[in-house]
């Protein structure tokens, strides 16, 4: 199904975009400007979602700056493009963005524990909480609990061989025909 493929592609891009901003923001207090004109697909096509930056401008790591760069600079136009191209719910796309944000924060916190960097975990959690405090993201899941749980479905269960996501809205896959 086209909308299933679109949802999975959107989720992958959202995860990469949040990670590009949150990783350096939590580690160094700065992150690369993610201006659409300087963010490119990998020219070697080693992976369909590999991204690279042509510019190295750095910005201060505030939730407002990250929101401006990722959410407004990429996720809003990306969601508009996906909705124009097919019958994809804005709720599903924002659910993907929320899931990707929660995943990026979770991975940073896990990494920081292994590296004995509680400062990084604290900054990642704080930035994540501020980013979730926005109308587009606040209703996407349960960001203030130990395990994020979506409030919308990404449709992964409809992929051949697909199962439930780690933050799935369902307790078990729906019985509908795949």
CA distance 177 to 165: 18
Strand-pairing partners, residue 140, are none
Looking at residue 46, what is its pLDDT?
65
Domain contains 172:
no
Domain contains 80:
yes
DSSP line for 39-83: EEE-TT-SSTT-EEES---EEE--HHHHIIIIIIIIIHHHHHHHH
Query: For the chain, what is the domain count?
Result: 1
pLDDT, tens digit (0-9, with 9 covering 90-100), for 37-58 = 888 776 666 665 677 777 778 9
Residue 127, domain extent = 2-158
pLDDT, tens digit (0-9, with 9 covering 90-100), for 48-84 = 567 777 777 899 999 999 999 999 999 999 999 988 8
Domain contains 165:
no
Please, what's the largest Cα pairwise distance for the chain? 49
Domain contains 34:
yes
Answer yes or no: is pLDDT of 177 > 50: no
Domain contains 163:
no
Percent pLDDT > 90 in the chain is: 49
Domain contains 119:
yes
Domain contains 174:
no
Domain contains 175:
no
Looking at residue 178, what is its pLDDT?
45
């Amino acid at each position: 199904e086209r909308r299933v493929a679109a949802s999975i592609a959107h989720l992958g891009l959202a995860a990469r975009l949040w990670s590009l901003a949150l990783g350096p923001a939590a580690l160094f207090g700065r992150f690369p400007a993610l201006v659409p004109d300087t963010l490119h697909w990998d020219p070697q096509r080693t992976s369909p979602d590999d991204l690279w930056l042509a510019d190295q401008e750095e910005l201060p790591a505030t939730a407002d700056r990250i929101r401006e760069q990722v959410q407004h600079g990429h996720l809003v136009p990306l969601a508009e493009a996906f909705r124009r191209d097919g019958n994809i719910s804005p709720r599903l796309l924002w659910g993907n963005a929320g899931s990707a944000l929660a995943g990026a924060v979770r991975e940073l916190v896990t990494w920081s524990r292994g590296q004995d960097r509680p400062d990084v975990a604290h900054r990642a959690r704080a930035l994540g909480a501020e980013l979730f405090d926005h109308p587009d993201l606040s209703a996407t899941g349960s960001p203030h609990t130990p395990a994020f749980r979506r409030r919308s479905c990404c449709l992964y269960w409809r992929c051949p061989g697909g199962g439930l996501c780690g933050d799935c809205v369902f307790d078990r896959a729906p019985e509908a025909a795949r």
